[in-house]
Amino acid sequence: MAARQIVIGIDSSTQATKALAVDVATGEVLGEGRAPHTVRGTGGARESDPEQWWQALCTAVAATGHADRAAAVSVAGQQHGLVALDAAGVAVHPALLWNDTRSAPEAAALVRELGREEWARRVGSVPGASFTVSKWAWLRAQGLTSGVAAVRLPHEYLTERLTGQVVAEPSDASGTGWWGPGGYDAEILELVGLPVELLPPSAEAPGSGAPNAKSPAIYAGATLQGSASQLPEPLMAEGVLVAAGAGDNAAAALGLGLMPGQAVVSLGTSGTAYALTRGRPADPTGVVAGFAAADGVHWLPLACTLNCTLAVDRLAALLGRDREAVEPGGSAVVLPFLDGERTPDLPYASGLLHGLRHETTGGQLLQAGYDGAAYALLTALDQVLAAGAEPESDAPLLLIGGGAKGRAWQQTVLRLSGRPVQLPTATELVALGAAAQAAALLTGEAPAAVARRWQTSAGPVLDPVPRDKAALDRIGATLAAAGGLLGV
* Per-residue pLDDT reduced to its tens digit, 134-145: 999 999 999 999
* CA–CA distance, 92 with 89 (Å, rounded to integer): 9
Please state the pTM of the whole predicted model. 0.88
- pLDDT at position 225 is 62
Q: Please, which pLDDT band fits residue 2 given cuts at 50, 70 and 90? A: low
Radius of gyration of the chain (CA): 21
- Give how far the C-alpha of residue 296 lies from the chain's centroid of Cα atoms, to the nearest Å: 17
Nearest Cα to Cα of residue 33 among 5, 7, 11: 11
Distance in angstroms (rounded) separating the CA atoms of residues 266 and 240: 32
Spatial CA neighbour of 282 closest among 274, 291, 273: 291
Cα-Cα-Cα-Cα dihedral sign, residues 59, 64, 67, 68? positive
Q: Residue 179, class by beta-carbon neighbours within 10 Å (0-12 exposed, 13-18 middle, 19+ buried)?
A: buried
pLDDT at residue 155 tops 50: yes
pLDDT tier at 220, thresholds 50, 70, 90: confident
- What is the arithmetic mean of pLDDT over 213-234? 60
Q: What is the DSSP string of 237-276?
A: -TT-EEE--EEHHHHHHHHHT--TT-EEEEESSSEEEEE-
The beta-carbon contacts of 150-153 under 8 Å, at least 24 apart in sequence, are 150/84, 150/85, 150/89, 150/198, 150/199, 151/82, 151/83, 151/84, 151/85, 151/194, 151/198, 151/199, 152/83, 152/85, 152/200, 153/77, 153/79, 153/80, 153/81, 153/82, 153/83, 153/247
Q: What is the pLDDT of residue 342?
A: 82
Q: Which of 319, 209, 300 is nearest to 251 (CA)?
A: 300
CA distance 28 to 22: 6
Is the pLDDT assigned to residue 359 strictly greater than 80?
A: yes
- Please state the rounded mean pLDDT for residues 454-478: 95
Q: Which of 248, 295, 345, 371 is catalytic?
A: 248
pLDDT digits (tens, 9 = 90+) for 276-330: 988 888 889 888 999 999 988 899 999 999 899 999 999 999 999 999 999 999 9
Can you give the pLDDT at residue 340? 87
**What three-state secondary structure class fits 381?**
helix
Q: What is the mean pLDDT of residues 40-46?
A: 92
Q: How far is CA 317 from CA 6, 117, 320, 328, 362, in A?
A: 41, 42, 5, 19, 11
- Statement: residue 188 has pLDDT above 80: yes
Specify the range with the lowest mean pLDDT, choosing from 29-33, 164-168, 448-452: 164-168
Domains of the chain: 6-244 (3.30.420.40), 251-424+458-485 (3.30.420.40)
- At 470, is the pLDDT very low, low, confident or very high (cuts 50, 70, 90)? very high
Over 60: is that where the pLDDT of 228 sits? no
Q: What is the pLDDT of residue 394?
A: 73
Q: pLDDT band for position 232 (50/70/90)?
A: low
Percentage of the residues of the chain whose pLDDT score is greater than 70: 92
Contacts of 283 by beta carbon, 8 Å cutoff, 6+ apart: 120, 125, 126, 289, 290, 301, 383, 387
- Separation between Cα atoms, residue 273 and residue 301, nearest integer Å: 8
The per-residue pLDDT for 487 is 57
Q: What's the Cα-to-Cα distance from 368 to each of 7, 113, 353, 389, 469, rounded to whole Å? A: 43, 39, 9, 30, 14
Q: Is the pLDDT of residue 372 over 50?
A: yes
The Cα 239–Cα 398 span in angstroms is 37
Between CA 378 and CA 417 the distance in angstroms is: 7
> What is the mean pLDDT of the segment spanning 246-259?
94
In whole angstroms, what is the distance from residue 69 CA to residue 64 CA?
11
227 has a pLDDT exceeding 50: no
Q: Is the pLDDT of residue 165 over 80?
A: yes
Chain segment 395-424, per-residue pLDDT in tens: 899 999 989 999 999 999 999 999 999 999
User: For this structure, is 248 an active site residue?
Assistant: yes
